Structure 1
Amino acid sequence: MREFSLPALYEVPSDGNLTDLIRRNAVQHPEVAVLGRKVDGVWTDVTATQFLAEVRAAAKGLIAAGVQPGDRVALMSRTRFEWVQLDFAIWSAGAVTVPVYETSSAEQVQWILGDSGAVAAIVESDDHAATLESVRDALPGLRDVWQIDRGGVDRLVEAGAEVSDETADARATSAKADDPATIVYTSGTTGRPKGCVLTHRSFFAECGNAVERLKPLFRTGECSVLLFLPAAHVFGRLVEVAAVMAPIKLGCVPDIKNLTEELATFRPTLILGVPRVFEKVYNAARAKAHADGKGAIFDRAAQTAIDYSRALSTPRGPSLGLRIRHAVFDRLVYTKIRAVLGGRGEYAISGGAPLGERLGHFFRGIGFTVLEGYGLTESCAATTFNPWDRQKIGTVGQPMPGSVVRIADDGEVLLHGDHLFAGYWNNGAATAEALTDGWFHTGDIGTLDEDGYLSITGRKKEILVTAGGKNVAPAVIEDRIRAHALVAECMVVGDGRPFVGALITLDEEFLTRWATDHGKPTDATATTLRQDPELLAEIQRAVDEGNAAVSKAESVRKFRVLTGQFTEEAGHITPSLKLKRNVVARDYADEIESLYTR
């Protein structure tokens, strides 16, 4: 058993709640822009004073509608300004926010609202309203529903016009640090979602210590962050609360199809995303360079960036020759990639899945450092992260200040600290299984080095055991294979089988580009190309890259290219892009069997 901890940098208030932050901002930073809001396609600033007023006005509407302290209010919307406003409005009414992914099915909506006992719901679109209406009869406790796109926020403000500021302020201060702030339903790779109860204390400990440890990234009046992750996900909520806590300007993007344009116009200094975002930035830049006949230059520039980053971790640092090459490629290549990311940023924070060492070195080498972290819904998002001044690429960083990470005798990662959840809503058995004497059992397998940096090597329940008795951690190979531009998803199989295999889906955007570059028909698809020798050879190179990270017994011997995608709608992935292995295995049983049929 091994453990590591760092002292807390932030003192959690003993009796306050998250609404204290917006009142403090209005007093201490009244004219500072704390949010950006799109108005007629143009970003406009919302000051701390304005934001407090808009939150209070919406909260009055909830109070007028009869929402009581401790009541649960569901919020189903894409990531937008109104999400942040309404989240703080729900807290300001003394209530508890129950976020619902905007892609959730009717069955999921029914379960989450029914299990949480939500008395009211706020939805965004006509589709969301129709989904909720289809299960309304099964939710007898649900009284009120407001729709953002149908003037719901305005109606809340109108309804609360008669509620006094004194009443609103008294309600806003009613919740205490250990009261629930939100119930976040884990998307879950098996079974029904469980509601993680996160208290105001959880967020204070999480965001307070993160902001203090990453101080240069959260400078009030100078820094900004663009949120394009789902606000319903706990990582998105971390961004929201941390930005308000600092405070720095927060912008919200509801549609990542427009992400490049939004980055160019908002120009954030900090980006938070999942590895797939950074993989796509790299792959898009590389593909464009090759299409323009500059592929060789890009590839040399990429390798120089990686070599430069690796040299930064050595005692002597980059050599003179390497520094010269790096300076040349900075003008030719790196500045253009940084421009795609907004042009002002120097840092990003990545979570949700492993980033990959090579990609981490590439981005640091171009002057845009991606700090990798690790966490779960139960740990209020990040529980470890790489500090800005002591990054160790290839790890998920050190423990959150004020928390402890322990490696159990069987390799499982255990967590302890104020940032942890209080338990699963209405599920004492699951809570007792996950929390033992204040320690949360993550289900992840990992190691701690001598400096307290954590590396995640697999999932306790996802370890495959081949027929030869070899234990295989799928994530190690999958992450390396998925880094290839042509690969959308990869799932390793082989439990009880004679060797390890893999199911691979193709990235449709890059498949089209690859087909054009290789003289394939313009209407080529995964269905028509899945047996193409050139395509299979390219995928084999991705598999070889994955196999390089493991022993021969753990390596992928055979793979199958699938014609479709792993989708949330089909139940193959969760909203946070985690594979539901049992569902994929069931739906692609024939493809898996074909790997082992002579």
Structure 2
Amino acid sequence: MREFTTPAPAGPAATGGLADSLYDTAERSPGLVQLSRRAEGPRGTAGNGWRDVTAAGFRDEVLALAKGLLTRGVRYGDRVALMSRTRYEWTLFDYALWSIGAIPVPVYPTAAPDQVRWILAETQAVACLVEDEDHAMTVGAVCDALPDLTGIWQLDRGCVAAIVEDGRGVPDSLVHRQRLGVTADTVATVVYTSGTTGRPKGCLLTHGALADAADALLACWHDALHDTGGHQPSTVLFLPLAHVYGRMVQIAAVRGGLRLGHLAEMSTDALLPALAALRPTFLLVVPYVLDKVFQNARRAAEEAGRGELFEQARQVAVDWAACREQRAFGRGHGPGAGVRLRHLAYERTVYQRLRAVFGGRLRTLMCGGSTLDRELGLFFTGIGVQLYEGYGLTETSAAIAGNPPGRAKAGTVGRPVPGATVAIADDGEVWVRGPGVFGGYLNHPRCTAESLFDGWFGTGDLGRLDEDGYLTITGRKKDLIVTSSGKNLAPAALELRVETHPLVSQCLVVGDDRPYVGALITLDPAALAHWLKQRGRGQSDPWAVLTDEELHTEIQRAVATANAAVSRAESIRAFRLLPREFGVEQGLMTPSLKLRRSAIADHYAADIEELYAP
């Protein structure tokens, strides 16, 4: 088994609980701005302005809420579900619950009643925080099956103020007595996996595992995060806090003294004003967001008659970043004079405008969650926003590997974070170990035993390590396709190549026990509308558009380009265009935007059969 280890940073391991860092920072630097909170609009809605919250101010709010939670009957070790979009109050409840030794349980706000019932019943949650009436009705619909649930608290009905009021007579010392009883080995949260192939499983993550993982990230990317031109490192969190990736951003920001703003929506209408107002210096994103930003920029350039200029600038950015990458590894001299001159010219005409979309101060992008196209990563680095890809799972408390500052290698997810080891088993599976690895699955000892062995966790992902110790993820073991001729294929890389075409939104490769490989392809609605407009045609019925000969020819080119990188036996021989994208609401994607392959195969069984019709 080939493996690579990054030594742990000097210093003792984390002790105590996650809430301790909040109180320590407030004592040490009470005026430090820790959070930026959305100002309230009419009737408690989110307004357009933002206000800063200092470390001392946040500590006081957390302490007041923690006292109210004790009054409401929440005790040390109790589990409380949090069902909300990403917003300030989530972080407030997390730290208030951790202050009294309670255990928050994230629930996706899009979760179906059956999923909510499963998570609340398995964790024996004593209360559930919800955001609005819809969420309250979802939880209320399954209350009869939840004998341990004693309260539903609703954010948009003023539950925070009510709970705080209940705790006014409780002495601070009672909270601190509970907090000091929390150790690094205490369970901090139960985070459920995305459930791509069945019921999600609850991962038991301790205070120590989350703290060590956050500290490893802060140590590894300290220089990148603090390269801000004199500004306080800051970010806007729009990833779901129900996912461990968003949760780790929150914990690292509080532990590292970084300013954090919350955004409940990922739409362009919500994101762009927030970026303009908060002007973050770094962002943590998923490939989906970067692809949307890039495609929107390209379409805007084409509509303005500057499509050729944009394409030239894109290629120069990619070439410039690739040459600098080669130089970092001692395999080249960096960008030549011609590339440098063209890059400088486009800096003034293109790249500055693209960076302005992010607020103008952005220096660093950190990307994870799924595979990112290498050229897209090089593009963002080439326009002046250094992109670092990373890799992690719920079971590893977020990142277990990442590209280090100064030596990022696009197309890979980097090297193990400090203190972690990554290994490749004989069958190609990625195995990891380190301080952030979880302690097991709640109520699933058999699954725990199958996943953990002597400190190692088998991720279920396939990958390879190069000569520099950089990891590349090539797919999932459970997603391997074996055609009727016996050819094995990991579909992820082929799907990603097809999805690089501007018109393509999603691609699902099929072919298990079939004579050849096929694909289901969905189109990006905005890109399709733009494509039709460029040809002077209006968008008609989706089904009618999908039978358009010119459109099929265009997608066939995308498939042919993707096929050029694989053998004939691995290539897509037939594809089917679908009238709508795979969505979370259909149950075809997880809330973290991963495809549910078996659900899609069942939903589009007839379309798949047509791929193999004589």
* Common topology (TM > 0.5): yes
CA distance in 2, matches of 1:340, 1:97: 35
1:572/1:584 contact within 8 Å kept: yes
* Contact 2:321-2:382 at 8 Å conserved across structures: yes
* Aligned amino acid, residue 381 of structure 1: A
Work out the CA distance in 1 between the residues paired with 2:175 and 2:350: 54
Deviations 1:494-548 (A, max 9, x none): 1111111100111122222222112222x43532211112221222232233223
Give structure 1 stretches of 5+ with no counterpart: none
Deviations 1:35-55 (A, max 9, x none): 001113111110000011111
User: Conserved in 2, the CA contact under 8 Å of 1:58 and 1:160?
Assistant: yes
Please give the alpha-carbon distance, in whole angstroms, between the structure 1 residues aligned to 2:526 and 2:271: 16
The corresponding residue for 2:170 is 163
Structural mapping, 1:43-62, within 5 Å: 43-62=50-69
CA RMSD of superposed structures (Å) = 1.3
1:429 aligns with 2:446: yes
What residue is the counterpart of 1:347 in the other structure?
A: 364
Residue 406 (1) aligns with residue 423 (2): yes
What code does the residue aligned with 1:215 have?
H
Partner of residue 504, structure 1: 521
TM-score, normalized by length of structure 1? Answer: 0.98
Q: Which amino acid aligns with 2:37?
A: R
For 1:256, what is the secondary structure of its paired residue?
A: coil
Structure 1 residues 187, 313: CA separation in 2 closer, same or farther (over 3 Å shift)? closer
Deviation, structure 1 residue 313: 2.4
Quote the Cα distance in structure 2 between the aligned partners of 1:364 and 1:218: 15
Which residue in 2 is equivalent to 1:252? 262
Q: 2:583 is matched with which residue?
A: 567
Instruction: Spell out, residue by residue over 1:207-251, the C-alpha distance to the aligned partner (whole angstroms, 9 max, x if none).
Output: 101101100244396110110011100100011001111111001
Candidates 205, 214, 217, aligned match of 1:207:
214
- Following the alignment from structure 1 to structure 2, what is the Cα–Cα distance between the partners of residues 336 and 74? 42
| In 1, Cα distance between equivalents of 2:57 and 2:541 | 50
Cα offset for 1:568? 1.3
Structure 2 residue 381 is the aligned partner of structure 1 residue 364: yes
CA contact (8 A) 2:325 2:407 kept: no
Judge conservation of contact 1:19–1:173 (CA < 8 Å) in 2: no
Contact 1:32 1:221 in 2 (8 A): no
Shift of 1:566: 1.0
CA distance in structure 2 between the aligned counterparts of 1:217 and 1:145, rounded to whole angstroms: 42
Q: Distance in 1 between matches of 2:353 and 2:427?
A: 46
Give the corresponding residue for 2:159. 152
Q: Which residue is equivalent to 1:543?
A: 559
Q: Is the 8 A contact 2:507 2:519 kept in 1?
A: yes
Partner of 1:69: 76
The answer for the alignment partner of 1:442 in structure 2 is 459
Query: Partner of 2:251: helix, strand, or coil?
Result: helix
2:237 to 220, 224, 227: 227
**2:257, 2:594 → 1: CA distance?**
31
- Count residues with an aligned counterpart: 597
Q: Deviations over 1:232-285 (max 9, x none)?
A: 001000110011111110011001121122111111000111101101111111
User: Is 1:114 equivalent to 2:114 in the alignment?
Assistant: no
SS, match of residue 291 in structure 2:
helix
The superposition leaves residues 53-107 of structure 1 with CA deviations (integer Å, 9 ceiling, x where unpaired) of 1111111111111111111000000001111111111111210010000111111
Secondary structure at 2:457 match in 1: strand
**Partner residue in 2 for 1:236:** 246
Q: Which amino acid aligns with 1:265?
A: A
- Give 1:13 deviation, angstroms: 4.2
Match of 2:150 among 134, 143, 154: 143
Alignment partners' CA distance in 2, 1:405 and 1:14: 22
Measure, in 1, the Cα distance between the counterparts of 2:137 and 2:565: 47
1:21 and 1:175 map into 2 onto residues whose CA distance is 13
Instruction: Determine the structure 2 residue equivalent to 1:27.
Output: 27
SS at match of 1:503: strand
Aligned 1:575-586 pairs, distance under 5 A: 575-586=591-602
Q: Which residue of 2 aligns with 1:306?
A: 318
The CA distance in 1 between the partners of 2:325 and 2:224, in whole Å, is: 21
Deviation at 1:485, TM superposition (A): 2.4
- Partners of 1:145 and 1:48 lie apart in 2 by 29
Would the aligned equivalents of 1:217 and 1:223 in 2 still touch at CA under 8 Å? Answer: no
Please state if 1:527 is matched with 2:527.
Answer: no
1:462 and 2:479 equivalent?
Answer: yes
Please list the CA deviations of residues 17-40 of structure 1 after superposition, one character each: whole Å capped at 9, or x if unmatched: 100110111022211111001113
What is the Cα deviation at residue 14 of structure 1? 5.5
Instruction: Tell me which amino acid in the other structure corresponds to 1:3.
Output: E
Q: Check the 8 A contact 1:12/1:204 in 2, yes or no.
A: no
Instruction: Write the mapping of 1:76-91 to structure 2, written as runs, cut at 5 A.
Output: 76-91=83-98
Q: Is 2:292 the partner of 1:280?
A: yes
Residue 296 in structure 1 maps to residue 312 in structure 2: no
3-state SS, counterpart of residue 400 of structure 2: strand
Task: Please identify, of 425-434 and 216-225, the stretch whose mean Cα deviation from structure 2 is larger.
Answer: 216-225
Partner of 2:605: 589
Aligned residue in 1 for 2:44: none
Runs (5+) with no aligned partner, structure 2: 40-46, 327-331
In the other structure, the counterpart of 2:390 is 373
Aligned partners of 2:100, 2:386: CA distance in 1, in Å? 39
Contact kept in structure 2, 1:110 and 1:138, CA below 8 Å:
yes
Contact kept, 8 Å, 1:511 with 1:525, in 2: the verdict is no
Distance between the aligned counterparts of 1:12 and 1:352, measured in 2?
A: 30
SS at match of 2:217: helix
Partner Cα distance (2:181, 2:497) in 1: 49
Tell me the secondary structure at the aligned position of residue 566 of structure 1. coil
Secondary structure, in 3 states, of the residue corresponding to 1:27? helix
Q: Does structure 1 conserve the Cα–Cα contact (< 8 Å) formed by 2:210 and 2:397? A: yes
1:466-515 deviations in Å (ceiling 9; x for gaps): 12211111100111222222222110001111111100111122222222
Q: 2:199: which partner in 1?
A: 192
Structure 2 match to 1:488: 505
Deviation at 1:438, TM superposition (A): 1.4
Contact 2:225–2:364 (8 Å) recurs in 1: no
**Secondary structure in 2 matching 1:423:** coil
Question: What letter corresponds to residue 211 of structure 1 in structure 2?
Answer: L
Q: In structure 2, the residue corresponding to 1:281 is in which secondary structure?
A: helix
> 2 CA distance for matches of 1:263 and 1:188?
32
Instruction: Provide the rounded CA distance (Å) in 2 between the counterparts of 1:236 and 1:538.
Output: 37
Query: Quick one: distance in 1 between partners of 2:351 and 2:111?
Result: 39
Contact 1:37 1:44 in 2 (8 A): yes
d(CA) in 1 for partners of 2:425, 2:233: 39
User: Which residue does 1:338 correspond to in 2?
Assistant: 355
- Alpha-carbon deviation of 1:555? 1.4
Instruction: Name the SS for the 1:54 alignment partner.
Output: helix
Offset from partner CA, 1:180-214 (integer Å, 9 cap, x none): 10000112111111000111111111110110110
Cross-structure match for 2:43: none
Does residue 41 of the first structure (1) align with residue 48 of the second (2)?
yes
Query: Does structure 2 retain, via aligned residues, the 8 Å contact 1:10–1:208?
Result: no
**In the alignment, which of 266, 281, 295 is matched to residue 278 of structure 2?**
266
Q: Does structure 2 conserve the Cα–Cα contact (< 8 Å) formed by 1:12 and 1:205?
A: no
Residue in structure 1 matched with residue 338 of structure 2 by the alignment: 321
Distance in 2, matches of 1:31 and 1:209, equals 26
- Structure 2 letter corresponding to 1:486: L
**Higher alpha-carbon deviation: 542-551 or 175-184:** 542-551
Is residue 96 from structure 1 mapped to residue 113 from structure 2 by the alignment?
no
Deviations 1:545-578 (A, max 9, x none): 3223322221111110011221112211111111
